[in-house]
Amino acid sequence: MKLLKDLLYDVRIDEIQGTTHLAVEGLSIDSRTIKPMGLFVAIPGTLVDGHDYIKQAILNGATSIVCEKIPEGINRPDSITFVLVKDSSTAIGQIASAYYDFPTHNMRIVAVTGTNGKTTTVTLLHRLFRMLDKKTGLIGTVEHMINDKIEVSTHTTPDALTLQILFRKMADAGCKYCFIEASSHAINQNRLSGTKLYGAVFTNITHDHLDYHKTFDNYITAKKKLFDSLSSSAFAIVNSDDSHFEDVVANCKAEISTFGLTTMADNKGRIVENQLQGLHLHIDGQDLYSRLVGGFNASNLLAIYSVAKALNVDPLETLTQMSLLTPPPGRFEIVESPDGITAIVDYAHTPDALENVLSTIAKFRSGGERLITVVGCGGDRDVTKRPIMARVAANGSDQVFLTSDNPRTEDPSSILAEMQSGLDPINKRKCISITDRREAIRAAAAFAESGDIVVVAGKGHETYQEIDGIRHDFDDRVILREAFTTA
């Protein structure tokens, strides 16, 4: 290991058309500044294979190659060391962890996975433990945090190398805990390799990411892989209200506990009251008054309580501090108009998440107000959910504005056509399609009257819109406030 660490210095990541490479001291296949020593890790990517660049890496000065195979025609002089591994994506995490002196070995890392609720759960866990005066890190969709210092987040779960760099920074800052979102893509691509997990949490699983996983069974298998990796000294906390929770922890070696609102569970909760002002919950015989709204957040709060309990925090102290927690940005975030219109911005970008938001609002309605929903679907992502999203929006709303989300490289009008295919003739009469998201939000605000509720779903905390590979400044909350001001 010492020899390996001698080779690993000034480590950084290069991405070339979906292929990840470990680079040292400026080593890169397109680098103009060639250094005499470097380690190159060849990883099969989604578009190209890093093994195709081994010869180029050697010409650029790499002296050590980590790979799954040695391509034909490669000159293998004695000065070049080849390290054959079963899986390069696993090896890079283990190498990076060793280089950064195993930063997770002295921290309690808890990974949260599930279709919905990951961001809320890890964000509020981080806030809770900071309120408890614990030095704590956060790795999530919205942002990364090292205690109270914000680091920019570009992926729900970073690549294996970036992850170990973040863990090293956290360890150096004295963090003893870290809560991390574990996406199914990240689990499947072994980005958590080299990370010692103290525990893992399963929130739920519903329709999403089938563009990547192809089948729902593959999606469940990806989630299960996280729990399969846990040691017998770790804990696994799962949502017993989800029908797939037993599948996820089948053969899991960790200590398993459950939480639930509607089923028997080790940590049992009950919704006493659910209003637009917040939740009143009964958890383990104690009352919790929370500013969060909706049954889905009741489940998230119960998960948070269960994790704190597993980390040996006093339950009464946990509930006391949880009562002070506020929602993360873009998660059921309320924007009020001067004339009494209530808008709710939410990241809901799956059919289940959107249905949760709309059904929660339905329980608050007195009967006279209208529910107006603005929703789109992302481009270059799961196409099978598009007609379902439109149908869910129409079934739960009085008026729907179908629009763009992040179209990326797709034609927005084509995405809208696929959404419209899920509508029956009655629901079609409820829906208006406006390709420009800004105009759709403005139209919804203009359509609404005092007392009405406007839901803008899909982007939540995001402050950009991605069109043809370019990110433009765009914030649903800002657009809403502007629309309410000028209406």
pLDDT digits (tens, 9 = 90+) for 239-268: 999 999 999 999 999 999 999 999 999 999
Give me the domains of the chain, ranges plus CATH numbers.
2-97 (3.40.1390.10), 102-322 (3.40.1190.10), 333-486 (3.90.190.20)
CB 15 within 8 A of CB 41: no
pLDDT at 342 over 70: yes
Give the CA dihedral 467, 472, 478, 481, nearest 10 degrees.
-60
Kind of pairing, strands 64-67 and 39-41?
A: parallel
Three-state secondary-structure class, residue 144: strand
pLDDT band at 169 (very low <50, low <70, confident <90, very high): very high
Find all residues with CB under 8 Å of 214, minimum gap 6, and list them: none
* Exposed/middle/buried for residue 93 (C-beta within 10 Å: 0-12, 13-18, 19+): buried
CB 362 within 8 A of CB 475: no
Q: How many helices (H) and strands (E) does the chain have?
A: 17, 24
CB 106 within 8 A of CB 196: no
Average predicted confidence (pLDDT) for the chain = 88
CA distances (Å), origin 12, targets 45, 318, 463: 17, 39, 27
pLDDT at 14 over 50: no
Residues across the chain: 487
- Evaluated on CA atoms 287, 292, 298, 300, the torsion sign reads negative
Strand partners, 455: 344, 373
pLDDT at 487: 63
pLDDT at 142 over 90: no
pLDDT band at 222 (very low <50, low <70, confident <90, very high): confident
